[in-house]
Amino acid sequence: MRPAFERLEQRIFYLLVAAGGLLTLLGLGAAHWMEEYGHIVTGMDNQVVWGLPHVFAIFMIVAASGVLNVASIGSVFGQPAYKTRAPLSGLLSLTLLAGGLMVLMLDLGRPERVIVAATHYNATSVFAWNVLLYSGMFTIVAIYLWTMFERRFNHHAKAAGVAVLVWRFVLTTGTGSIFAFLVARQAYQSAVLAPLFIVLSFGWGLAVFLIVQSSMLAWNGRRLDDAVQRRLARLLGVFVAAALYFVAVYHMTNLYFSRQGAFEAFILRDGGVFPQLFWFGYVALGSLVPLGLLFQPRIGARGMLVASALVVLGAFAWLFVFIIGGQSFPLEIFPGYQVHSSFGDGAIARYVPRWPEWLLGLGGVGAAFVLTTVGVRVLDFLPRDDVAAPAPAAKG
């Protein structure tokens, strides 16, 4: 029976790689279409310049930082239940970061001009800072994985884990600072955004990790130990609750300033799809429902998987509100006065994503999926020390 199972496993592997590869090619084709005909084929305009692809890109980049929480808890703080999951955590960080940067570069247009940013460094630009942060992240995580797989360097794993811990905090701070330093949009320019993105990364990264881990264990005919399962579920619940708290602090901070009252009313009440996505997409389905599932006394594998999927969907809802809603609301240049002109000053922008944007965003997900699938197949990333095989069915 074993050779038959291995043949089936091999067929599933090639099928998964083919599906992910097709999705990646569709994303590259959409990017080429946008490059040939311009962003007029998308729903973006001169007010909403960061569209749906940026939602995908920012999610994957932030989750790439947060997924390393598992590795940090294991290597830096010496928790055995997490230490065996550190290699998978590092792999997911690299693949998510690669997929996110692929979408980011292709969506901005003229990706070949990245060489200009690399050779003409502008130290006063937060975008330039992130060029170093992203490349440094790849390097440090790769070294970290090397110390775990090469037995001669195992004693350096903790030092490498500490470096990864510090670097990912800096990276996520840089990602949040892109928005925090952007004074041309009223939705942003807040010091709360840097710690907010750090806390959001914890939940998003762990949710992605749990989904991938569950898929890998099911693929290999294994199941997670109940005690470890409850531990991971509680940790995700704590991260989701902390993120919900910081999001509330962000909006309460905005409400404290009278000049932000109109923007908060737009996002939380009057903005059409944005309040719906915020209250029902993020708060209800993306936070409260997962919290109810994760803190159940006897949460099962299916319940944890559903909760993780809802956290990911809630993350996309929040990012759409934050990125798209923040650009749709007009900047209040002259407080207390209404501004009107032929350029649409003072008007709320209307944005509807079109198919090239969806395909480009999903193409980044497909690239991360292919890299993860191949990496798991080539190297041994499956946690083994606290998994158990399914109990045999009772004979009637």
Q: How confident is the model at residue 137 (pLDDT cuts 50, 70, 90)?
A: very high
Q: Parse the chain into domains and list their residue ranges.
A: 21-333+342-379
What pLDDT digit, counting tens, does each position of 311-369 carry? 999 999 999 999 999 999 887 766 667 766 666 666 788 899 999 999 999 999 999 99
Do 240 and 203 touch, CB atoms closer than 8 A? Answer: yes
Q: How confident is the model at residue 243 (pLDDT cuts 50, 70, 90)?
A: very high
Which tokens sit at 52?
A: 């749906």
What pLDDT digit, counting tens, does each position of 122-131 carry? 777 777 888 8
Count of beta carbons in the 10 Å neighbourhood of residue 315: 25
Model confidence at 275: pLDDT above 70? yes
Residues 230-242 have a mean pLDDT of 93
Cα torsion angle, 275, 39, 358, 203, sign: negative
Residues 38-57 have a mean pLDDT of 90
What pLDDT, on a 0 to 100 scale, did the predictor assign at position 394? 44
Percent of the chain scored above 90 by pLDDT? Answer: 48
Model confidence at 6: pLDDT above 70? no
Model confidence at 396: pLDDT above 70? no
Distances (CA, A) of 116 to 108, 111, 131, 192, 379: 14, 10, 12, 32, 36
Amino acid identity of residue 231, one-letter, is: R
Highest mean pLDDT among 13-22, 289-298, 307-316: 307-316
Residues 198-213 have a mean pLDDT of 94
- DSSP state for residue 120 in the 8-state scheme: S
Residues 245-250 have a mean pLDDT of 95
What pLDDT, on a 0 to 100 scale, did the predictor assign at position 4? 64
What pLDDT, on a 0 to 100 scale, did the predictor assign at position 96? 96
What pLDDT, on a 0 to 100 scale, did the predictor assign at position 393? 44
Q: Which of 209, 393, 231 is nearest to 305 (CA)?
A: 209
Alpha-helical regions (H) of the chain:
2-37, 52-66, 69-75, 80-83, 86-108, 114-119, 126-149, 157-180, 193-219, 226-256, 261-265, 273-276, 289-294, 301-319, 326-328, 355-378
Model confidence at 9: pLDDT above 80? no
What pLDDT, on a 0 to 100 scale, did the predictor assign at position 343? 67
> What residues pair up with 224 in beta bridges, in sequence order?
387
Highest mean pLDDT among 68-82, 220-234, 263-277: 263-277
Does pTM surpass 0.95? no
What pLDDT digit, counting tens, does each position of 91-113 carry? 999 999 999 999 998 988 777 77
What pLDDT digit, counting tens, does each position of 141-193 carry? 999 999 988 888 888 888 888 999 999 999 999 898 888 888 777 788 888 99
Domain 21-333+342-379, second-level architecture: Up-down Bundle (1.20)
Which tokens sit at 319?
A: 């990012």
Residues 273-278 have a mean pLDDT of 96
Residue 340 or residue 292, greater confidence:
292
Which tokens sit at 89?
A: 């955590």
Residue 376 or residue 247, greater confidence:
247
